[in-house]
């Protein structure tokens, strides 16, 4: 078995990789928890669940691209949200993103994240050729 680590930038300071690729017949990509409390341009998305949810998926998409994979390669994800009332909106956004071919998923409501401005965090596993 061979492991390849997507290094990222600031993640090294926190002692984790944004993704780990395990190669065999297909590659298995373990995607660390991603958030979206800041937009691509650096603007804060604090308090805006929909914007954070969409940014979280964009951030996962960027990490998967570094591993030569796409969101369509996700086979499972765990979604952590700070307020159960956001579950329906998250599901609607996920439907827009994945169409009808959904990864397996669990949604868990948590009491807080490492940064209080975070409203959603998603981790997952992708399998890609």
Residue 37 near residue 118 (C-beta atoms within 8 A): yes
**CA–CA dist 11, 128 (Å, integer):** 23
pTM assigned to the model = 0.84
**CA–CA dist 53, 66 (Å, integer):** 20
Provide the 8-state DSSP code for 120: E
pLDDT per residue as tens digits for the range 92-123: 899 899 887 788 888 899 998 989 999 999 99
Domain of residue 92: give its range.
2-128
Q: Residue 83's domain is classified under what CATH number?
A: 3.30.1330.40
φ, ψ of residue 54 to 5 degrees: the values are: -65, -40
Number of structural domains (the chain) is: 1
């Amino acid at each position: 078995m061979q492991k390849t680590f997507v290094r990222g930038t600031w993640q090294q300071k926190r002692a984790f990789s944004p993704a780990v690729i395990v190669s065999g017949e297909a590659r298995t990509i373990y995607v660390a928890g991603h958030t979206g409390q800041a937009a691509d341009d650096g603007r804060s998305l604090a308090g805006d669940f929909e914007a954070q949810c969409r940014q979280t998926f964009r951030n996962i998409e960027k990490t998967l691209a570094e591993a030569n994979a796409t969101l369509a390669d996700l086979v499972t994800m765990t979604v952590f949200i700070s307020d159960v009332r956001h579950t329906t909106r998250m599901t609607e956004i996920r439907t827009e993103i994945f169409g009808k071919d959904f990864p397996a998923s669990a949604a868990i409501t948590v009491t807080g994240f490492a940064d209080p401005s975070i409203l959603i965090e998603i981790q997952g596993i992708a399998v890609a050729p």
